[in-house]
Amino acid sequence: MTGATGMMEGYFWFVIVVVSAFILLAFAALRSSLANSKWTLSDALSEAETPPNPAGAGATAGAGGGANEPKMSASSSRLIAFIGMIILSALFLGVGYFTLWALFFGQPKDVQAVKDTGTVFLTGSALFAPYAFNKLADVFKK
How many angstroms separate the CA atoms of 11 and 43, rounded?
43
Q: Which of the 8 DSSP states describes residue 121?
A: H
Give pLDDT, residue 62.
Answer: 47
* 122 contacts 84 by C-beta, under 8 angstroms: no
3-state DSSP call for residue 47?
strand
Give pLDDT, residue 67.
Answer: 59
Give pLDDT, residue 61.
Answer: 47
What is the per-residue pLDDT across 35-68, written as a single tens digit (0 to 9) for each? Answer: 877 877 777 778 777 665 555 555 444 445 555 6
Give pLDDT, residue 46.
Answer: 80
CA distances (Å), 34 to each of 37, 47, 86, in order?
Answer: 5, 20, 18
| Regions of the chain short of the pLDDT cut 50 | 59-63
3-state DSSP call for residue 116?
coil
